[in-house]
Structure 1
Amino acid sequence: ENNEEIEFSPSMLTEMAGELHNALEQASEPSTKEQKSALRKKRRQLKELEAHRDKLQEYNNHLDNLQDRNSYSKTDKEATFMRMKEDAMRNGQTKPGYNLQIATENQFIIDYSLFPNPTDTLTMIPFLKSFADRYGQLAHTVVADSGYGSEENYHFMSENGMEAYVKYNYFHMEQRPRFKPNPFKAENFFYNEEQDYCVCPMGQKMQRVGTRHTKTESGYVVEYARYRAVRCEGCPLRCLCFKAKGNRTIELNHRLRIYKQKARELLCSEEGLKHRGQRCIEPEAVFGQIKYNMNYKRFRHFGKDKVLMDFSFLAIAFNIKKMCTKMNKEGINWLIKHLYGLITDHLSYREQNNRDYLLNIAA
């Protein structure tokens, strides 16, 4: 017996329905009551087959609109249902929208882009690439909060020679004066890099027993090294260490550990403290002015292209307004000095082609 499942497509069902329809038309006129009943049954089955075909086609159209997303709006098929920061009903309801990413320098919007994915982690690399498309090269210095701190993002910035002042999760917790790391967490175990083994809080060596690989949504491969204790039976700290049966097995991501260490050194340096303090008044202040001073809290159009056009006009107006404000405060000399700086940077860029851009990213 052949138990393989056959995956039907709308074209296959259309062909089958056409053959059945032709067969019914060429059949002789029924004469008996049983033949008439059988003919009605076949016609009913043909209608059900056509209904299944239409439903399957509709389902395939939904999948084409979804692509890699989990939802989309019927009125704006490029928008994705997300949880918004402004939740008037306070019930966590989702609304169709876009994930807006902006990059600023001196509170001027220098780049922006829209993404259908609500997760900031997955938007950083394509946003940095869009910046390169706009300015002809990647940014040299990137400052972002912990929502962007992932191994994939750190790897991309390291491979492209960027200074990544990007926080990771638990970075703020580590900076607290009373912070004490949990000694029973796998990432806090002592690790001997030369001989590739870990030491548990009880002092027992945990030898490497294998490697596990996973893939992110974008296809990036993450590698986890697995270590297992030899004998956990009778350990006085077992009740605090783990609750599973047998010996404890842990998984460590060594690449992410190295990236976090580099990020911690940069963030805690004198330059890092400066960037961390500046970031709070850079993109967040821009969003605050846009939302609350200009009351721009929702897009006025449907479709990604129109929404992007909508925000483009706002970004132009915002930068002009910011420039006029600076001119009123500092006089016309500020504009002359700024234009002179732009011309100098442009000439040096053409000569050396290595201008450094500072990105403060926020969503």
Structure 2
Amino acid sequence: ARLLEKIRILLQQIDDVVAQENACIENTTTEFTPSMLTDMISELKASLENVPPPSDKEEKKAKRQKTKQIKVLESHCEKLAEYNRHMRILGKRNSYSKTDPDATFMHMKEDPMGNGQLKPGYNLQIGTENQFMLDFGLYHNPTDTLTLIPFENSFHERYNRFPLEGVADSGYGSEENYRFMDENGIEAYVKYNFFHKEQRADKYVTNPFKQENLYYNEEKDYYVCPMGQHMERTGVRHYRTESGYIAESVAYRAARCEGCPLRCMCFSSKSKRRTIEVNHRLKEYKQKARERLTSEKGFKHRGQRCIEPEAVFGQIKYDMGYKRFRHFGKDKVTMDFAFFAIAFNIKKMCAKIKNQKMTDKNYKNIRVA
């Protein structure tokens, strides 16, 4: 943005008809491109060559100044082309590595220097069952929320079906992900934020001022505050998530909060009336997830998850010392980990066959004895 502003100021300083016609100085929203600036520079040079030789010092000085301005414009054009190239490589990311343009700078769990230094890497996602790797994916975004849908689509491309059940931690619990799994027949055992807090009988659950604990009349669509007054619906807000998904939240406002003896405990905003925003669709998905996670099957999945992907990651990183990729570029890194995943599964299968044979042998010895 600063470079474009410099270009606009410079073109205003160049007193030339060609520049004025092509620059659209009056319109400050014009976005210059390197090709546009190249054409301007060519025409400015051509017009400068057609000017008669200067006859006095003032004309010589003016010509030198124009020549200098054209050189500055050329440097700005080169810089703009460089920025555009960076932006093409960057895409929707906020950073990339110069040594590996496909890698994004992220916070790593291993931080030897203890200063939270960013390092280029990939967000590796794996799907496991009985500690066998069924699928894996490498993603640019450091957060897990945006990886679930592309990872499930990757699973579908590999096996021509979606998994029957999906178990994941709260990093994947979003409205978009719940809706995707619900529409594709995946039974979601996916936690959401504050799930564990809701399971404990502490101040979070018993606090009557929490939005989640307010009484809601679904038939007449209003909430009731701890003092008993209705919080009527005032409007709807639509917002777009980072992935482009459009969510909807409904606002509810109390009739009057002035003079309420509970106001200091109810909300701390400077506004005269308390306002809350509720995403009803997400609330329904959370209710379904809560019922599944607290069921007998849900308890089993929650207990097993810590010995499924987490145990596999532990074996990969600490038992086998595979903490860094050996190649650069997403294609090569994918190949790198694909070979490792194949070897990992073969090693796991061989160990399982060996343990099964030892078990059968011991069982036979016991029967003979």
Q: TM over 0.5: same fold?
A: yes
Alpha-carbon distance change, 46 to 180 in structure 1, aligned in 2, over 3 angstroms: closer
Residue 30 of structure 1, CA deviation: 2.0
Once the two structures are superposed, what CA deviation does each residue of 1:112-146 show, in whole Å capped at 9, x if it has no partner? 00000001000100100010011001111000011
Letter in 1 for 2:232: Q
2:262 equivalent among 237, 240, 245: 237
2 CA distance for matches of 1:257 and 1:213? 16
Partner of 1:287: 313
Residue type at the aligned position of 2:81: Q
User: 2:92 maps to which residue?
Assistant: 68
Instruction: Find the counterpart in structure 2 of residue 197 from structure 1.
Output: 222
Report the Cα distance in structure 1 between the residues aligned to 2:97 and 2:276, rounded to whole angstroms: 42
Q: Residue type of the partner of 1:194?
A: E
SS in 1 for 2:54: coil
CA distance in 1, matches of 2:285, 2:332: 38
Listed as ranges, the matches of 1:124-273 within 5 Å are 124-178=148-202, 180-181=204-205, 182-243=207-268, 244-273=270-299
**1:35 CA displacement:** 1.5
Q: Does 1:23 align with 2:84?
A: no
User: C-alpha distance in 2, partners of 1:291/1:160?
Assistant: 33
Per the normalisation by structure 2, the TM-score is 0.88
8 Å contact kept, 1:142–1:165: yes
Q: Quick one: distance in 2 between partners of 1:130 and 1:307?
A: 17
Greater relative contact order (CA < 8 Å, ≥ 6 in sequence) = 1
- Equivalence for 2:13: none
TM-score (norm 1): 0.89
Identity %: 66
Aligned counterpart for 2:356 among listed residues 293, 317, 330: 330
Q: Which amino acid aligns with 2:40?
A: M
Name the CA distance, whole Å, in 1 between partners of 2:275 and 2:202: 29
Q: How far apart, CA to CA, are the structure 1 residues paired with 2:210 and 2:122?
A: 37
Which deviations, in whole Å up to 9, do the C-alpha atoms of 1:257-287 show, x marking residues without a partner? 1101100100111111111111110000000
* Paired position in structure 2 for 1:317: 343
SS of corresponding position for 1:331: helix
Contact 1:228 1:249 in 2 (8 A): yes
Task: Kindly tell me the number of residue pairs found equivalent between the two proteins.
Answer: 334
Residue of structure 2 equivalent to 1:344: none
Q: Is the 8 A contact 2:197 2:204 kept in 1?
A: no
Shift of 1:187: 2.4
Q: Is the Cα–Cα contact under 8 Å of residues 235 and 250 in structure 2 kept in the other structure?
A: yes
* 1:178 Cα deviation after fit: 3.9
- 8 Å CA contact 2:123–2:142 kept in 1: the answer is yes
> Following the alignment from structure 2 to structure 1, what is the Cα–Cα distance between the partners of residues 30 and 184?
46
AA in 1 matched with 2:75: A
Provide the C-alpha distance between the structure 2 equivalents of 1:166 and 1:5, rounded to a whole number of angstroms.
46
Distance 1:3 1:118 in 2: 39
Q: Deviations over 1:151-182 (max 9, x none)?
A: 11001111111100000111112223546423
- Secondary structure of 2:351's counterpart equals helix
- Secondary structure, in 3 states, of the residue corresponding to 1:211? strand
Shift of the 144–179 alpha-carbon distance from structure 1 to 2, 3 Å rule, reads farther
Return the offset for 1:3.
5.1
Determine whether 1:308 maps to 2:334: yes
2:117 matched residue in structure 1: 93
Letter in 1 for 2:310: E
Cα distance in structure 2, aligned partners of 1:76 and 1:132:
29
Give the C-alpha shift of residue 28 in structure 1. Answer: 2.3
For 1:189-212, what per-residue CA distance to the aligned partner results, in whole angstroms no more than 9, with x for missing partners? Answer: 111111100001111111101101
Letter in 2 for 1:299: F
- SS in structure 1 of the partner of residue 97 of structure 2: coil
Paired with 2:247 and 2:283, the residues of 1 have a C-alpha distance of: 12
Helix, strand or coil at the partner of 1:222? strand
47, 63, 67: which one aligns with 1:39: 63
What is the rounded CA distance, in whole Å, between the counterparts of 2:91 and 2:209 in structure 1?
41
C-alpha distance in 2 between matches for 1:172 and 1:270: 16
Q: Deviations over 1:17-36 (max 9, x none)?
A: 00011112222222322221
Q: Are the equivalent residues in 1 in contact too, given 2:252–2:275 (CA < 8 A)?
A: yes
Q: What is the Cα deviation at residue 63 of structure 1?
A: 0.9
Larger radius of gyration: 2
